[in-house]
């Protein structure tokens, strides 16, 4: 049987004072707050869909359910992950890289789907061209930011040290992305 230990048994850590992670913490908080604008998709689903869809007459119980599920994933899952990553704790710092990779992958899949929707145009499309292009415009800047942080400036993700002064790594950094204190 695998052994497990409570988090309290982990060595005490503190944010690395040589790593200023305030930029990434602000970015995580800003995005978490922006995700809260998805709440109307959960609470006023039919109205929001009538704005987004090219043919509001296509709204049915299934489309309402899936829109609510999508909104629930954004508000409950993605926003929670961003709020955890905004924290200056072992778990917060350690989750930042994974959170950005997963969010980036989601955006990387959504953008081509929206581009295909834009290319459809006319009566075959579910979204108007303006909504599809606007959605792409909203997804591209965060994806570019994630690429910049993950590939060009991984030190922005922050690090932590053992409380006794030893260096530890978390998030991303040159040479690896572990969350163990060394």
Per the structure, the complete domain to which residue 38 belongs is given by 20-162
Total domains in the fold of the chain:
1
Q: Which two tokens stand for residue 19?
A: 């790593």
Diameter of the chain by CA atoms? 65
Is 88 part of any domain? yes
Residue 151 belongs to a domain: yes
Q: Would 62 be classed as within a structural domain?
A: yes
> Which tens digit of pLDDT belongs to each residue from 33-54?
999 999 999 999 999 999 999 9
For residue 36, give the nearest of 84, 67, 66, 78 by alpha carbon.
78
To which residue do tokens 């163990």 refer? 180
Does 75 map to a domain?
yes
Interval 141-173: pLDDT, tens? 999 999 999 999 999 998 877 766 555 444 444
Report the pLDDT value the prediction gives residue 142, as an integer from 0 to 100. 97
Is 101 part of a structural domain of the chain? yes
Q: Which range among 69-78, 84-93, 105-114 shows the weakest confidence by mean pLDDT?
A: 84-93
pLDDT digits (tens, 9 = 90+) for 111-130: 999 999 999 977 789 998 99
> How far apart (Å, rounded) are the C-alpha atoms in residues 142 and 36?
16
Residue 1 counted as domain residue: no
Q: Beta-carbon neighbour count of residue 72 at 10 Å?
A: 14
Is 169 a member of any domain? no
Tokens of 42: 């959960």
**Token digits for 37?**
């604008």
* 48 inside domain: yes
Whole-structure pTM value: 0.80
Supply the pLDDT for residue 7. Answer: 59
């Amino acid at each position: 049987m695998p052994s497990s230990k409570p988090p309290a048994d982990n060595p005490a850590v503190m944010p690395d004072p040589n790593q200023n992670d305030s930029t990434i913490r602000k970015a995580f908080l800003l995005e978490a707050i922006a995700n809260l604008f998805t709440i109307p998709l959960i609470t006023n689903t039919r109205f929001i869909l009538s704005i987004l869809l090219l043919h509001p007459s296509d709204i049915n119980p299934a489309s309402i359910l899936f829109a609510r599920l999508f909104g629930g994933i954004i508000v409950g899952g993605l926003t929670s992950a961003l709020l955890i990553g905004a924290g200056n704790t072992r778990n917060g710092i350690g989750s930042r890289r994974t959170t950005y990779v997963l969010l980036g992958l989601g955006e990387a899949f959504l953008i081509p789907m929206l581009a295909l929707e834009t290319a459809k145009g006319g009566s075959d499309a579910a979204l108007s061209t303006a909504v599809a292009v606007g959605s792409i415009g909203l997804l591209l800047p965060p994806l570019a930011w994630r690429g910049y942080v993950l590939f060009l400036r991984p030190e922005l993700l922050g690090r932590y040290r053992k409380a006794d002064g030893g260096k530890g790594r978390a998030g991303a950094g040159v040479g690896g992305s572990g969350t163990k204190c060394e």
